[in-house]
Amino acid sequence: MSSGSSDPRKTYRRATNLVHGGTERTDWQETSEALILTSGYVYDSAEQAQARMAGEEPGYVYGRYNNPTVAMLEERLRLLEGAEACRAMASGMGAMNAILTAPIQQGDRVVGASALFGSCRWLIANQLPKYGVETEFVDGMDMEAWEKALSKPTKLVLVESPANPMLDAVDIKAVADLAHKAGAQLIVDNVFASPVLQSPFELGADWVFYSATKHMDGGGRVLGGMILGPKKDMEEIIDPFIRHSGPCISPFNAWVILKGLETLEIRVERQSETAARLADAMAEHSAVRALRYPGRKDHPHYEVHAKQMRSGGTLIALSLAGGKDAAFRFLNALSLVQISNNLGDVKSLACHPATTTHRALSPEERASMGLDESWVRFSVGLEDADDLMEDVLYALDEANKA
């Protein structure tokens, strides 16, 4: 589609970018994005091989560097977020390792919110200090603590909002301002909200991170990770790191995620609507001691979520009045909802964080996050909302039968 300079069709809105963004066609003119499953490329001549390798002629050189299917995925997400650059990697953690490791050197300082996905926290707490990096964790909602932690020169700041597993908020804009004053770049883990419900770049983030394994695939099939950020840093700092360390994504997995993106908006919007209904019904049940849903006014960080997110999202945290036993009775009584530590899937999934995803933390660390053994994390899928309602209300009744 050619477009003149005054053509209003030059930029598209979110849903359109999710379906068409980044599409390139081979000579076969296929409708659906091609899966180019190849590790290498051939050249017309020795001269062309030389020019490609020297970066003097555009084109692909090796699967560890890039691939046309992967490039389509990267361009689709780049357009969606309005970012300068995007790179896809083999898993969320592969991508997180690249953005946390490539820019840092001995003597740098990295600050993270204390409520982070377990492996992200592990990289900051255990891996970065081995390189001589000073690291610190801050209660994400405590602005005085952020001010104090960011009164010293800092290289990177990592936050997650809503955060695992209690759906805590971080005021992204306020932390971005403090991070920039400290000379730091702010990375936002936007997995729980997805690009549909929260746009961290508009709030001042320098880098946005995704585990594409979650809502982007949405079908529980493949792993993938994405980072978006400034073009210059991506090309000068991130690209050499990923080219030489190898966290490249399989073109097959990239293709699955590319197709997943086509339906991301309608899935996340519907899942979020159903989650809001379920949260309201579960909060009224006598088996529930406390419930946290970013879209409910009784969430302790409601104001911050409400100014950053377009709706409450697909995840709910609930605490059972009868503690761990009741939480297990609830999980075991579910029939439609499956027990699994994954999230963002079209299938509704629930898990017990204290004994699964957050098992590695000490009871003290869990307590500092407000997490005890009474909590269940619930990821709401695409099933009929009434079927889900019947399943969870039945299981809550069972949880009450000590």
Binding-site ranges for ligand PLP (CB under 6 A): 91-93, 117, 119-120, 160, 164, 189, 191-192, 211, 213-214, 223, 225
Instruction: Decide the pairing of beta strands 375-379 and 315-320.
Output: antiparallel
Beta carbon nearer to ligand PLP, 164 or 348: 164
The CB-nearest residue to ligand PLP is 92
Beta bridge partner(s), residue 291: 318
> Exposed/middle/buried for 345, CB within 10 Å: 0-12, 13-18, 19+?
buried
Which distant-in-sequence residues (6+ apart) come within 8 Å of 374 by Cβ? 289, 319, 320, 321, 322, 323, 324, 326, 327
Concatenated DSSP letters for 72-122?
Answer: HHHHHHHHHHT-SEEEEESSHHHHHHHHHHTT--TT-EEEEESS--HHHHH
Tell me how far, at minimum, the Cβ of 342 lies from ligand PLP, in Å. Answer: 8
Least distance to ligand PLP, CB of residue 116, Å = 8
Q: CB-wise, 264 or 287, nearer to ligand PLP?
A: 264
Nearest approach, Cβ of residue 73 and ligand PLP (Å): 14
| DSSP letter (8 states) at residue 40 | B
**Nearest-approach distance from CB 119 to ligand PLP, in angstroms:** 6
Which stretches within 130-263 are classed as H helix?
143-149, 172-181, 194-197, 231-233, 239-245, 251-262
Q: Judge contact between 291 and 317, C-beta under 8 A.
A: yes
Among 168, 167, 165, 271, smallest CA distance to 218 is for 271
Structure tokens, 332: 């075991």
Nearest distance from C-beta of residue 385 to ligand PLP, angstroms: 24
Taking a C-beta distance cutoff of 8 angstroms, is the pair 286, 154 a contact? no
11 vs 355, beta carbon nearer ligand PLP? 355
Q: How far is the CB of 147 from ligand PLP (least distance, A)?
A: 25
Minimum CB separation from ligand PLP for residue 77, in Å? Answer: 15
Q: Closest CB to ligand PLP among 254 and 288?
A: 254
Q: Among residues 256, 220, 253, which one has the least CA distance to residue 338?
A: 220
Quote the least distance from Cβ 301 to ligand PLP, whole Å: 16
Shortest Cβ 128–ligand PLP spacing (Å): 16
Nearer to ligand PLP, 182 or 253 (CB): 253
Nearer to ligand PLP, 208 or 395 (CB): 208
* Shortest CB 92 distance to ligand PLP, Å: 2
220 backbone φψ class: left, alpha, beta (φ>0; ψ -120 to 50): left
Task: Report the residue number, 264 or 288, with the smaller CB distance to ligand PLP.
Answer: 264
Longest Cα separation, the chain: 76
Closest to 301 (Cα-Cα) out of 113, 124, 96:
113
Question: Quick one: 171 or 189, whose CB is closer to ligand PLP?
Answer: 189
Task: Decide whether 120 or 371 has the Cβ nearer to ligand PLP.
Answer: 120
| Cα dihedral value 176, 180, 182, 184, nearest 10 | 90
CA atoms within 13 A on the CB side of 41: 20
